């Protein structure tokens, strides 16, 4: 055999080196390194396998995220708020859930993979995604073209949804979350990750109707229900400088907290039979965060001034009480609804909170204890929003 002839092993090594060099040379120098390599992390989280999950029976498992595109971002999750929507979905309260399902749509973390087409988020940025992760975004879509992506008929939820290619959406009770970048927002420096997380759904759900309906110095505003959503309503109404901020709840057990949140008046409907008469025609705008079939909606409407507005954001699993049309006709009041918010609204809300030093009332819980946190949330123990902390990731960041 000639001395210049290489062994099979040596030839194979040269071939591998040649292919490696060819791969390197084919890369665009402007491309980030992370866009050229495979992910070195697993998608795993707390999965609901059936309706029993709401009883604290989620299981930690791996799952297949949505198919990657260059319009996507992978978020290394540090924090995720627990939303009432999570409980509805875990028990199939709003229709049959697409089990297995990983809930959580108040997701904050670090961008660890960013698609080539993404311009507003960079590798390493602190970012988050709320309740919506996709819409059609087509120029001929009336909603998307006018900045109302949250009302697009093709909207996809951050969990329990299906993308156009058929892959499922999975939420933030997990180590990583993959989402289309259009719905991922940057978290401003003035907010901690734990505080920003519940704003991404709970916060914007009340922010949007308040802003859209003119809440401000000349408005007297009522917030029905002082839970996770309602507490945000009070914080925003105060921050927006409303002339009067009225907290409306069944009992006065949360009065002291409501006043700390910004309420200038408190109405306990179960403790005063004449509450509706005493406060008739006193409010310009009411945002209702409750959804009980027993809600006294006719009495709520009586609190409105002529041409007042009642906006419902609480989403029921069943029906609400019958409506008497004369409750609207007599004073010309309007009944409306509002669904989450757009990425633009979320960004504006976060900037507003950071600038005005607005801090939600939260309780941090370890992600490892997500099952117990869900049970506690179901039992109404949260004051006023639970935030799951992925401790192994959170300790790597300073926010």
Residue 326: give its domain's CATH number.
Answer: 3.40.50.720
Give tens-digit pLDDT for 191-218. Answer: 999 999 999 999 999 999 999 999 999 9
CA distances to 46, 48, 91, 369, 373 from 57, in Å: 9, 7, 11, 11, 11
Do both 327 and 218 map to the same domain? Answer: yes
Question: Residue 344: inside a domain, yes or no?
Answer: no
- pLDDT at residue number 25: 39
Which pTM value belongs to this model? 0.90
Question: Residue 167: inside a domain, yes or no?
Answer: yes
Do both 378 and 279 map to the same domain? Answer: no
Q: Residue 4 class from Cβ within 10 Å (0-12 exposed, 13-18 middle, 19+ buried)?
A: exposed
Do both 146 and 219 map to the same domain? Answer: no
Given a cut of 90, whether residue 234 has pLDDT beyond it is: yes
Given a cut of 90, whether residue 17 has pLDDT beyond it is: no
Domain end, chosen from 288, 322, 337, is at: 337
Do both 147 and 210 map to the same domain? Answer: no
Q: Where are the alpha helices (DSSP H) in the chain?
A: 8-26, 84-90, 142-145, 193-198, 204-212, 228-239, 255-261, 275-278, 297-302, 326-329, 343-355, 370-378, 391-394
Q: Residue 62 class from Cβ within 10 Å (0-12 exposed, 13-18 middle, 19+ buried)?
A: exposed
Do both 327 and 388 map to the same domain? Answer: no
Given a cut of 90, whether residue 167 has pLDDT beyond it is: yes
Question: Residue 149: inside a domain, yes or no?
Answer: yes
Do both 155 and 218 map to the same domain? Answer: no
Question: Residue 20: inside a domain, yes or no?
Answer: no
Strands 107-114 and 126-129: antiparallel
160: left (phi over 0), alpha (psi -120 to 50) or beta: left
Cα 371 from Cα 46, distance rounded (Å): 8
Question: Residue 16: inside a domain, yes or no?
Answer: no
Question: What does the mean pLDDT of the chain come to?
Answer: 92
- pLDDT at residue number 390: 98
Cα 242 from Cα 309, distance rounded (Å): 15
Beta bridge partners of 246: 222, 265
- pLDDT at residue number 14: 55
Cα 156 from Cα 140, distance rounded (Å): 18
Question: Residue 5: inside a domain, yes or no?
Answer: no
DSSP 312: E
* Cα-based torsion angle of the residue sequence 287, 289, 290, 291 in order, rounded to the nearest 10 degrees: 90
Question: Are 311 and 337 spatial neighbours (Cβ–Cβ below 8 Å)?
Answer: yes
Cα 354 from Cα 189, distance rounded (Å): 8
Do both 156 and 255 map to the same domain? Answer: no
Beta bridge partners of 221: 245, 285
Of 129-138, 152-161, 242-251, 325-334, the least confident: 325-334
Q: Write out the residue range of the structural domain in which residue 243 sits.
A: 203-337
Beta bridge partners of 245: 221
Given a cut of 80, whether residue 1 has pLDDT beyond it is: no
Percent of the chain exceeding pLDDT 70 equals: 90
Cα 289 from Cα 214, distance rounded (Å): 18
- CATH code of the domain containing 367: 3.90.180.10
Do both 110 and 219 map to the same domain? Answer: no
Question: Residue 7: inside a domain, yes or no?
Answer: no
Do both 321 and 369 map to the same domain? Answer: no
Question: Residue 8: inside a domain, yes or no?
Answer: no
Do both 247 and 387 map to the same domain? Answer: no
Average the pLDDT over 174-184 and give the result.
99
Total tally of structural domains belonging to the chain: 2
Residue 358 half-sphere exposure toward CB, CA atoms < 13 A: 27
Do both 212 and 330 map to the same domain? Answer: yes
Do both 147 and 173 map to the same domain? Answer: yes
Given a cut of 70, whether residue 15 has pLDDT beyond it is: no
- pLDDT at residue number 323: 87
């Amino acid at each position: 055999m000639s001395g210049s002839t290489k062994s099979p092993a040596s030839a194979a090594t040269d071939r591998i080196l040649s292919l490696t060099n060819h791969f390197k040379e084919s890369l665009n120098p402007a491309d980030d390194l992370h866009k050229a390599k495979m992910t070195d992390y697993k998608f795993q989280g707390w999965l609901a396998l059936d309706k029993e999950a709401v009883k604290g029976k989620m299981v930690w498992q791996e799952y297949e995220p949505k198919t990657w595109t260059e319009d996507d971002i992978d978020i290394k999750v540090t924090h995720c708020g627990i939303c009432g929507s999570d409980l509805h979905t875990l028990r199939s309260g709003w229709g049959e859930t697409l089990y297995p399902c990983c809930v959580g749509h108040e997701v904050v973390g670090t961008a660890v993979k960013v698609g080539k087409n993404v311009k507003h988020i960079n590798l390493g940025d602190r970012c988050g995604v709320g309740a919506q992760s996709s819409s059609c975004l087509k120029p001929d879509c009336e909603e998307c073209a006018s900045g109302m992506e949250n009302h697009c008929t093709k909207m996809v939820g951050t969990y329990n949804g299906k993308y156009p290619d058929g892959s499922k959406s999975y939420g933030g009770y997990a180590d990583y979350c993959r989402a289309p970048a259009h719905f991922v927002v940057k978290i401003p420096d003035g907010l901690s990750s734990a505080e920003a997380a519940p704003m991404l759904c709970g916060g914007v759900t009340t922010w949007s109707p308040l802003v859209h309906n003119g809440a401000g110095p000349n408005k007297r505003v009522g917030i029905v229900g002082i839970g996770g959503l309602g507490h945000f309503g009070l914080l925003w109404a105060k921050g927006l400088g409303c002339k009067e901020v009225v907290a409306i709840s069944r009992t006065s057990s949360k009065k002291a907290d409501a006043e700390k949140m910004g309420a200038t008046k408190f109405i306990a409907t179960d403790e005063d039979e004449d509450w509706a008469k005493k406060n008739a025609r006193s409010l310009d705008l009411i945002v209702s965060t409750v959804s009980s079939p027993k809600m006294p909606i006719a009495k709520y409407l009586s609190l409105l001034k002529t041409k007042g507005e009642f906006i419902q954001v609480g989403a029921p699993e069943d029906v609400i009480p019958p409506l008497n049309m004369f409750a609207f006709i007599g004073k010309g009041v309007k009944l409306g609804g509002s669904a989450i918010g757009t990425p633009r609204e979320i960004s504006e809300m976060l900037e507003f909170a950071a600038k005005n030093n607005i801090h939600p009332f939260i309780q941090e819980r370890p992600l490892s204890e997500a099952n117990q946190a869900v049970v506690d949330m179901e039992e109404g123990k949260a004051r006023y929003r639970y935030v799951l902390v992925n401790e192994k990731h959170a300790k790597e960041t300073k926010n």
